[in-house]
């Protein structure tokens, strides 16, 4: 392979658009940016203030993150009221739920 061919190949490889992130990958970023301060970096484990939340339903995540309430019939894991609403995450609930679902599949991650 000539130097020109190697250079052309390298340019072609660099010019590819990045692989789109999955909802779970995007949700991990949301979680690490907003939730890990109280919840454990591994959502299967308890955090400094928040309980384990891996596998939480979309309804629970939405109600807690946006409105600080619990879905009907849900019994909270802790009686604390330290959590604050994060309404800026309303468009990221599905991503966050996807990350928590993935985390529940691999508890020792």
CA 63 centroid distance within chain: 16
Angle between helices 23-34 and 93-105 (to 10 degrees): 100
| pLDDT score for 93 | 98
Question: What are the tens digits of pLDDT across the range 46-93?
Answer: 999 999 999 999 999 999 999 999 999 999 988 888 899 999 999 999
Give the mean pLDDT of 3-12.
62
The phi and psi torsions of 39 (rounded to 5 degrees) equal -95, 155
91: left (phi over 0), alpha (psi -120 to 50) or beta: alpha
DSSP secondary structure code for residue 77 in this structure: S
DSSP secondary structure code for residue 63 in this structure: I
Q: Are 99 and 39 in contact (CB under 8 A)?
A: no
Asked whether the whole model's pTM tops 0.85, one would answer no
Question: What distance in Å separates the CA atoms of residue 42 and residue 108, rounded to the nearest whole number?
Answer: 8
DSSP secondary structure code for residue 79 in this structure: -
Instruction: Write down the mean pLDDT value for the chain.
Output: 89
Closest CA to 41 of 53, 32, 51: 32
Position 11 confidence tier, pLDDT thresholds 50, 70, 90: low
């Amino acid at each position: 392979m000539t130097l020109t061919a190697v250079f052309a190949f390298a340019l072609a490889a660099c010019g590819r658009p990045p692989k789109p992130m999955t909802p779970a990958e995007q949700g991990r970023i949301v979680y690490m940016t907003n939730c890990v301060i109280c919840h454990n970096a591994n959502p299967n484990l308890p955090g400094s203030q928040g309980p384990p939340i891996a596998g939480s339903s979309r309804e629970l995540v939405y109600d807690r993150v946006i409105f600080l309430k619990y879905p009907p019939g849900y019994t909270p894991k802790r009686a604390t009221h330290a959590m604050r609403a994060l309404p800026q995450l309303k468009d990221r609930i599905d991503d966050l739920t996807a990350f928590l679902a993935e985390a529940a599949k691999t508890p020792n991650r």
